Chains A and B, each alone.
Chain A
Amino acid sequence: MRMFVSERAQQIPPSGIRKFFDLALTMDDVISLGVGEPDFRTPWNICESGIYSIEQGVTSYTSNRGLQTLRDALSAHLASRYQLKYSADDEMVITTGVSEALDIAVRAIVNPGDEVLIAEPSYVSYAPCVTLAGGIPVPVECTEQDHFRLNPDTLQEKITDKTKALIINFPNNPTGAIMKKEDLEPIADIVTDRDLLLISDEVYSELTYENSHTAPATVKDLWQRTITLNGFSKAYAMTGWRVGFLCAPQEICDAALKIHQYVMLCAPVMGQVGALEALRSAEDEKTSMVNEYRLRRNMFVAGLNKIGLSCHVPEGAFYAFPSVKGTGLSDVEFAERLLKEQRVAVVPGSVFGSGGDYHLRCAYAVSRKDLNEALGRMETFVNGL
């Protein structure tokens, strides 16, 4: 029989932590800092609105773009919160999570052979999405010395005649780094000079602890060459509702919409109704979740530094990204032994691409009690090395 699996499907790597995953499932009493989602439940008013909509028979397709009411509310929200101006009618598509938004954004702009730069360490989907679209993913390493921000010089070096776009994600998964306006300005100059497109995944934009988020599309002239991706999962603890969105200038947005209508048709309507409720009246709930993450971050990062796993203070998202260089173990060895010997699950940083090795991604979206327990176990582990 011949090989039916496509070359592209063969090209993309399997998940780097499958073996950890299987191991953790066989063990009891594991504290997992490996989960990239809020530990809070979705605020009840959002759940209630979803339930009510189902009771009312709101169970059909929506327009491809998404519910008009949601897009109107979103357009107003983006303008007031981030000074981002996107028309609800022509420059916005509601998607099935940011995952889909990323996929259709990449497919809307990449030609076979185009190089797409990816600021790494990064979320694991970017490179495979580029590969699946026929493009060539090119990592741009963000280093610990730069606090995991994208360095303009490093970016410049990676640009070739084939470079089409740059994908960034700040606040960042896995490092928790953010990019302020002054950090984005030199990046904006390069992107403009070299006539690139920017894809900015801002799904953690609501989770910043010292400075509020600057949307790259609001910096200099970037708006006309930026695709902004965002969603409801992280800010409102709505991961399972699968609602995200893509905003872009009309020409790009129309192209993404075409793909969306063929592959997804529309985002689930109950999710869209829940998202609308989130925008209308979950501000207080969101703020109290952010406050709680801040407390946990302070506690956890102080604890990591105390036990000798040096860690910069992550200013956004809910990840700490400590270094294990001082322990003599690689990140994979550390993570594997920590799981086996102390039953704490963390993700080895090398899973997230260049710049991630010798680091661990620890999600502090778990209760303070579990965080303290995890710190205690990690201390025992480090002291035993």
Chain B
Amino acid sequence: MDDKDLELLRILEENSRLSAQEIGSMTNLTPAEVEARIHALEENKIIRKYTTVINWEKAGNSEVSAIIELKVSPERDFGYDRIAERLSRFRQVRTLRLITGTYDLQLMVSGKNMQEVSRFVSEHVAPMDRIRETATLIVMKSYKENGNTLFEQQETERLPYSF
């Protein structure tokens, strides 16, 4: 890892669809060097995945999501890891984090509708051993995801010329 790698990561995090040529011209690297560096970053699992930020609501998808908070009794030797890894395997769990505060684990869960989400929580999550308490917070609207605002912002008027 060097400064050029960091620069590549910043560029890709913002837009992973740029070509090696385009990235090369921005960083003074040849396209082959860009590809080699990106390949190494992928091999080292620093780059985990290339994904897309989608405004699903605008796409007409009625999928709903909820934040589920869990109080969990940690296991001897394993702490929260084993139960967290088990929960992670569910397709419905989009994000899972260990947090401080009243609850221990925080999940982002999504499903086709509220019934599906609540059935998932009541049938699969709540009955798990070591889960002492759950709280389900329904997401009503999302304004920002992964650093990207989802609402329309007004273009600022700029003069065509200024010194």
Contacts and interface: CB of A to CB of B under 8 A. Distances in A.
A295 B26 contact: yes
Interface in A162-193: 173
Given A298-B26, A298-B27, A299-B26, A37 B158 contact: yes
Contacts of A37: 158, 162
Interface in B75-115: none
B70 to A, nearest CB: 33
B27 A173 contact: no
A110 interface: no
B156 interface: yes
A174 to B, nearest CB: 8
Interface in B1-47: 7, 10-11, 22, 25-28
A309 to B, nearest CB: 15
A20 interface: yes
B161 A34 contact: yes
Nearest to A240: B156
Interface string A26-41: 0000101011110101
A296 interface: yes
Given A299-B22, A302-B25, A39 B158 contact: yes
A296 B26 contact: yes
A35 B162 contact: yes
A303 B25 CA distance: 8
B54 interface: no
Contact of A36 (B11, B27, B156, B162): B162
A35 B26 contact: no
Given A295-B27, A298-B27, A41 B156 contact: yes
Interface in A351-375: 368, 372
Interface in A117-141: 123-125
B50 interface: no
B60 interface: no
Given A295-B27, A298-B28, A36 B163 contact: yes
A385 to B, nearest CB: 23
A52 interface: no
Contacts of B156: 41
A368 B161 CA distance: 19
A32 B7 contact: no
B160 A24 contact: yes
Contacts of A17: 161
Contacts of A296: 26
Nearest to B156: A41
Shortest 3 CB-CB contacts between residues of A and residues of B = A24-B160, A295-B26, A34-B161
